[in-house]
Structure 1
């Protein structure tokens, strides 16, 4: 199943952006395209490779479009 990232991102609230990644908060309970449950944040990796430093334990789902990783986080 393909992810319609343009439509998905228009529903999310932008949070952070730097040269390696861009993050969005899901403030309207959009369903995760991988598992169908609402996700908390979307992290779009802009560089390959990219390192993520997580400050809390999360479950996550991952999708790839045009060589970019899309990480959907779910707080435990």
Structure 2
């Protein structure tokens, strides 16, 4: 996987949530995941180390790092 350009990536995404620990962006324009090359649903940027996520649904995850932050690409599992 190439280095993730976080600024370029989030410029194409829609901000959805931000708090002290994380920032969440929704992929509304079908951007491909840099890890697996399939469309992802949300990008979670972890701003604190460690960070805790409370997931309300089962997801497949791809992970990476950018600018010193962990980044998580979520993929909804199809039923």
TM-score by length of structure 1 reads 0.97
Q: How many residues align?
A: 76
Task: Say whether 1:65 aligns with 2:46.
Answer: no
Q: How does 1:1-76 map to 2 (within 5 A)?
A: 1-76=2-77
Query: For residues 24-62 of structure 1, what are the alpha-carbon distances to aligned partners after superposition, in whole Å with 9 as ceiling and x for unaligned?
Result: 000000000000000000000000000000000000100
Q: Distance in 1 between matches of 2:65 and 2:25?
A: 16
Q: SS at the partner of 2:10?
A: helix
Runs of at least 5 residues in structure 1 that lack an aligned partner in the other structure = none
Q: SS at the partner of 2:62?
A: strand
- CA-based RMSD of the aligned residues comes to 0.6
